[in-house]
Structure 1
């Protein structure tokens, strides 16, 4: 049955004979044609009807056409399943997915631009139209005067279908076209609008036109299930039956008891609790249906009876349409249609009959049922391949798959929730991966079609689901397929615009543990494979560009894990093959120096140089992505990196600071960063590694001593910090920074008694209360006590005014004398810590930092965590002398049971703790243990043959080599060893 009311038309639209038209109350008429109406639509110029797949149209009276036309059946060779009438013509959907357009003269022709596309939905505005394809793509055509095509501002419009690329990847449920505006709805209820906005019909809070799809944020998480556009207003329906309207309200079409426009979506309060099941907007009126009560409500323009309430006036409040009892009792309302000046209800008897319209179909998505069909073998392989191509070539289809439907959770899709059912995804991909034919076909489609099509500037959160789904799929593949797809996926992730990448990182931070570890493992395996190829002496210039992609993703995920405090550990990211690559480089260096150069094997030398240069280039690309390096690898890289030359310092032992400062002041940045430091003492003018270590030891002892006046010290004089008031020239901090960087570059452990805050600040990590506690434990613990104080007191008898280094400071200058309360105590502590570790030393620290980065490549420094950086520069105090003994090797005539060696270790065990530390300084040039622990100190002992009994032991610090005379007895050995470590440090010969 078709019921209709509104402006006068030819009796019964000529669908039946005039005497078969039923006339009800309030001008409502109904017809029951012999051939049932399957679908119909009414626009400004035409009303169209589909019966048995055939289309009939009737021209409506208008200003240009003052009488109704006759019902005319279009002579088409196609079966039509849907018609939508617009301002001038109509759009027809053919069974099978083709689209025809009908012009003013009712001539129909195929729409260009949709060849080989299966359309599932069509929409028509005044001068533009839309189509949604099975794979989730939106196409538009017509005029673009207000941006209603969603293409771009300067697009002139088009008679052929144009792809709205900005919506690629969004899994859409519905499209709708208004007068000159357009809307789409995603499967998870996100609403996008664009086009004319003169009355606020886009719901964005203003009246500015939009030329690209824009999210209506006020409708987020409202579980929107349907949208409808009118001439200049819009209505949406939520799953629970709530109706929102916005835009022009001049005829009351918003239903808000007023005739004013609304620029934001607003609930139609009069319908609250009615559980509306259907909405549709006409030119200036709105219809809604409540399935449970079989009631239809109308509001808006009624001057031609289109509200069906017996009045010819505009109404701003929803009133029931007075349908006959026959319609209510015997028929089920299937579709509401609102036109220019007409309203229609398409109903069918219960139970449904064969003439019901074909339900509106959604985009193709992957689900358990489809996978089951593929695996059962019930369908021909040709059909299965066709389905695979449709689903896995479309980001929109994949993004609409595996949604978490329980409790409607996918409607909560946001920056915090991706909407995926992870368990369902996992079980589905496990099933697929067991069928080799299926997985091979899927890989081909993903590689050749899906990945190349991904939009680097996706719209909305739903577009990013594909980046969560694909890693889980790729993990199930064989090695070769996995590596290729992983690389392609990595490239696409790195091409994402910054906002989308940031959102993807948020999704990563909330992945289930198994998924997150799987993601890391995927990119880690690919990275390890390529690094292994380099280490195995397989030169491939491709690797130099391919490898960083994988590692960049690992670095991003690592940073996400650190920020989100995830349980995944640093060790999960480390690639041990890096250590093998560094070992290969060291071996090459050793071979070139010890063997090939001596033999003059030019070809082998060149091959090794090429391999060394290639490996160095790869490592240089990776040092800014340090998550894959373990501490040993980082230190090995620092120790073995290639220098471009030597940067010499010529110094007087009696004027180390004066001489070094004068030369560092003028040193070029490139030499400081890329040249190895060489130290010459004027007393002997020999360049030795001993001189360098001796220089660093002495210069830092002098700079960090209280007498230097450069720093302030904590209460027990164990730690230094920058002063709030300068007592020396500011330039000294700049030069001090250069010296610290040079020590770092040259792998020298120095006396640098600073809290971890110093190293955090160098790495742009914000210092914390824990760092203040390390420096000033009493003050820091007092502030911690304030945070931990449990009693409920409003004021804490403290104010924001503090005294630091003798200077009174207002922590909140805007409110001097502000009191500390229970509610602001965290702010007070944060500001206190920030002042001491940041603001009070800002000027002097920036000088130090400027000097540090003049001499140190920032990328190399950022390889290290703050704790690691401190360990590299300062060492540690974990003195395990047993490990030193176990790792010692003997050369020449010495061996472990040699009498002199036995005496040496007996003497060593008798040394005091300070004497043992002095011996370490004597042996290595470092007073503290290197960051890798005592196991990194590989002491070698060999006999010193040319000596007298007065000769002292000697050391080559760069090799940790002890040259030990063969003394006549243990007592002499002990005397000479103690004399050497106490009096000869820094002045022995190499």
Structure 2
């Protein structure tokens, strides 16, 4: 007697042979009862005039999709599964009015999911197990509701099982939600939930290159690009295609299928596959003779054998086009082998969301203004694609084969850039794109998604907007309104980015960090343009807030760039035009007033975004800020004096300035003692230095310059024992075993703060690491190379050494000698050898010890003293190198520029014989003498941040007699040289050298 499966194969063969021209063929036993049911099928009159392209059936309801994208439903409706808004059954198909342009539908037992042409997913019906993907608080929905968790993702397919649902993206990422008691969602969680109420990506399927998903009652099967089938979920009936005794959690490949599978379909408890290459139609799981319901005993022996329903010899003259599987039934549609049709897989047959390809672009670009109907059609196509985040993303997806990792950028930005620039050249296309972005796409951006795929559109948007803005030229003849719309795109985009949920913002910023330089810079430049476009309101309306979102986005990009090891130079974030758009002094005053709590919080203040300022502007802001603070203190002091004199108060008002009287021969001790007695509130007053026995000069910057020059020079000397020198001529650093009290380091920090706050440049040979630590940045190996070139070089050699004999060759352990102290970098470090596995950790520990661990206490004191004066918030404006340049200047000398910038007064001019002699003598000086001349005439031998162009030497004629008997004089606070009219170059050079050598005691001017 033939087996039930053999009988089934025979009956299926007879139906295929007798009815090969029909579109559907039942694969169930032809009993009298079932035959009667089949013979009673009739055409549905309500859909007689509608072209139906797809039908899906639930447990007791059916849904049909028309060729125009309309959806009709009938059957049971108590759970809202008909989507009509009523919780009752319908015996005739009813159109779901809330849906249009649907391309795919899929029914579960009592729910339905649908995919629209613009890439949105809708669901309705029962939600007891989370199968709608709408969240836990919803029991059912009688009308379609958008599944917002999938917003922005370009999808290829939606599928539904008994009480679970799936979506597949065009990139091959699978999303699942609903009931998961049998593992039918494939989620690889340690403690998987039995109900998942929102779509989750299935990590176990991420690398399988899935192209199609089919769901059974409690199991799921997926088809991959190479034709493999993976199954997961309930296997009590053998529907997974492998033995339950060999069951493993998560998706497992089905073996035993001969050849790549082209079609896949799941019934309630069985799985159907078709191999087009061989013509085989195979199934596994529970067949029609299965008794009972879904309530199965755990020890029931499953049927897991893979059975060949139809052999290739049985398909003579016909070939399978599609296969379908229901609860206890399977179907196949066929075509005659003579029919002219290309072989396709089930994935290739899926209707696709709208997207833009080369044919579309060529069509749009070829349209002329006279082709009214063709232009109108093209306008609608442009609008459809540029109104939908998924459609725009789908237009530029990279081939799956080019994505090496899941976190690779999924879109081809180079292709997108070229496409957008091409389209933007057509005015009507540019206008439609702009309107669509503003009115539709940007409002539809996914702001609360946890799926990385959803954020590709943000990258494309930046490219598109920049391409549109590049066309804003006078010759484009774009109207004012269109121009304003293009310029406002950046603000709309920025508002969307700042409106992202915190977790979504993290994902987008991770995406940004992966971008190549040119594409990251594209976003930066686009946002900078948005900032500039809004700054026209800065002066007239301080409360105008539209500039804030672009600034906030620029701030995030700036942070991303720092995390990505400064892919872009920080100068790319500077907005050089800012000087012409705002009053920087006004901005500083706003910033300071807000800090004092006397300014409305809504007033726009760019000082909260200091990265947009160039280093020179930051320096100017700092100088203005310190001047404003000192002026306010002085004004308050003057007011206190006036109140005292009028009201005759008993308590004398405090001085409006900070006076320090010091002796030259006891300079350091006097300065430190006086500062130790000063109240913190007085440290920000204008500093006035008087050398004992010399005339006080209240407005002389030269006195301050000399004071700081001398005090720093004495305190950094080795014999003072405040700092260590790791090598000859190396920068100074803080010693691990200080011989001075830590209060001295606090006061040294105060001195450095006073120097900077009083706008004096004085040299302290600190390495860049000092300024990194001041602004909260971590020093690196490069900093150790600056501090100790020999040690830095050795550590680099350890990192570069890749041979296996590293331990024998280098014989290095986690114990080091620093400043004549041997320390273990880790516990028992002397017993742990450095090898290829731990060498990076060793170098990191070495650097950390030198710059952090060994100096923690005394640097903390130095930092505290510095910020007692400067203020941490204003210092935070600067990058470490910028802070270094502001405080101690640099040595980027350009003596030709120095000559070029010089000004001449009285009888002198560039062609005057004395001036010619002067520059001839000056350029013949050694570098040290030139630096000495700078010190003589400017009070410092360091170059300011903005370079030699800011050093403007003014040479005045000094009318003295006889001139050859006098040495030149300098008014260093104004960079003035008083130069006698010498008779010869030799005499002039000699007198200049005498002035340099005698350069002490600025009190004379």
TM-score (norm 1): 0.81
> Does 1:422 find its partner at 2:414?
yes
Q: Which residue matches 1:394? A: 388
- The Cα shift of 1:740 comes to 2.8
Match of 1:687 among 684, 690, 698: 698
> Does 1:319 find its partner at 2:306?
yes
Q: CA 1:353–1:945 in 2, change beyond 3 Å: closer, same or farther?
A: closer
Q: Give runs of aligned pairs for residues 409-558 of structure 1, distance below 5 A.
A: 409=401, 414-420=406-412, 422-423=414-415, 425-477=416-468, 478-479=471-472, 480=483, 481-497=485-501, 500-505=504-509, 507-508=511-512, 511=515, 515=519, 518-527=522-531, 533=536, 539-541=539-541, 545-547=545-547, 549-550=549-550, 553=553
Cα distance in 1 for partners of 2:496, 2:394 equals 20
RMSD over aligned Cα atoms: 4.4
Q: CA 1:173–1:904 in 2, change beyond 3 Å: closer, same or farther?
A: closer
Contact 1:128 / 1:141 at 8 angstroms: preserved in 2? Answer: yes
Q: CA 1:637–1:39 in 2, change beyond 3 Å: closer, same or farther?
A: farther
- The Cα shift of 1:340 comes to 2.2
Contact 2:12 / 2:26 at 8 angstroms: preserved in 1? Answer: no
Q: Give runs of aligned pairs for residues 896-915 of structure 1, distance below 5 A.
A: 896=910, 914-915=928-929
Cα distance in 2 for partners of 1:434, 1:325 equals 56
> Does 1:257 find its partner at 2:251?
no
Secondary structure of 1:831's match?
Answer: helix
Q: Give runs of aligned pairs for residues 24-423 of structure 1, distance below 5 A.
A: 25=10, 30=15, 71=41, 74-77=44-47, 79=50, 80-104=52-76, 107-108=91-92, 110=94, 114-115=98-99, 117-206=100-189, 207-208=192-193, 209-258=195-244, 262-271=248-257, 274-302=259-287, 304=289, 315=302, 317-323=304-310, 328-352=315-339, 360-377=350-367, 380-405=374-399, 408-409=400-401, 414-420=406-412, 422-423=414-415
Describe the superposition over 1:874-899 as per-residue Cα deviations: whole angstroms up to 9, x where unpaired: 22334444443332212345444667
- The Cα shift of 1:32 comes to 8.5
- The Cα shift of 1:730 comes to 2.8
Secondary structure of 1:286's match?
Answer: strand
> Does 1:781 find its partner at 2:793?
yes
Contact 1:954 / 1:989 at 8 angstroms: preserved in 2? Answer: no
Secondary structure of 2:430's match?
Answer: helix
Cα distance in 1 for partners of 2:916, 2:355 equals 78
- The Cα shift of 1:275 comes to 0.7
Cα distance in 2 for partners of 1:108, 1:676 equals 88
Q: Give runs of aligned pairs for residues 564-713 of structure 1, distance below 5 A.
A: 573-578=573-578, 580=580, 618-623=605-610, 625-626=611-612, 629-641=613-625, 643-646=628-631, 648-654=657-663, 663=675, 677-681=686-690, 683=692, 686-688=697-699, 689-713=701-725
Cα distance in 1 for partners of 2:333, 2:628 equals 83
Describe the superposition over 1:104-144 as per-residue Cα deviations: whole angstroms up to 9, x where unpaired: 355245465724x2111111112221111111101111222
Cα distance in 2 for partners of 1:179, 1:664 equals 79
Contact 1:91 / 1:124 at 8 angstroms: preserved in 2? Answer: yes
Q: Which residue matches 1:592? A: none
Q: Which residue matches 2:839? A: 825
Cα distance in 2 for partners of 1:970, 1:816 equals 66
- The Cα shift of 1:173 comes to 0.7
Contact 2:689 / 2:707 at 8 angstroms: preserved in 1? Answer: no
Match of 2:976 among 958, 961, 964: 961
Q: Which residue matches 1:19? A: none
Secondary structure of 2:354's match?
Answer: coil
> Does 1:849 find its partner at 2:859?
no
Cα distance in 2 for partners of 1:640, 1:225 equals 63
- The Cα shift of 1:216 comes to 0.6
Contact 2:813 / 2:831 at 8 angstroms: preserved in 1? Answer: yes
Contact 1:954 / 1:988 at 8 angstroms: preserved in 2? Answer: no
Q: CA 1:793–1:370 in 2, change beyond 3 Å: closer, same or farther?
A: same
Q: CA 1:824–1:266 in 2, change beyond 3 Å: closer, same or farther?
A: same
- The Cα shift of 1:498 comes to 5.1
Structure 2 residues not aligned, in runs of 5+: 77-88, 293-299, 473-482, 589-599, 634-656
- The Cα shift of 1:566 comes to 8.6
Describe the superposition over 1:192-230 as per-residue Cα deviations: whole angstroms up to 9, x where unpaired: 011221122211124312221111111113211001122
Secondary structure of 2:942's match?
Answer: coil
Report the number of matched residues.
910
Contact 1:41 / 1:339 at 8 angstroms: preserved in 2? Answer: no
Cα distance in 1 for partners of 2:821, 2:430 equals 71
Cα distance in 1 for partners of 2:549, 2:8 equals 72
Cα distance in 2 for partners of 1:344, 1:92 equals 18
Q: Which residue matches 2:905? A: 891
Moved more, 372-381 or 247-256: 372-381
Q: CA 1:901–1:292 in 2, change beyond 3 Å: closer, same or farther?
A: closer
- The Cα shift of 1:169 comes to 0.6
Cα distance in 1 for partners of 2:678, 2:283 equals 84
Cα distance in 1 for partners of 2:65, 2:395 equals 25
Moved more, 32-41 or 136-145: 32-41
Secondary structure of 1:784's match?
Answer: helix
Contact 1:188 / 1:412 at 8 angstroms: preserved in 2? Answer: no
TM-score (norm 2): 0.80
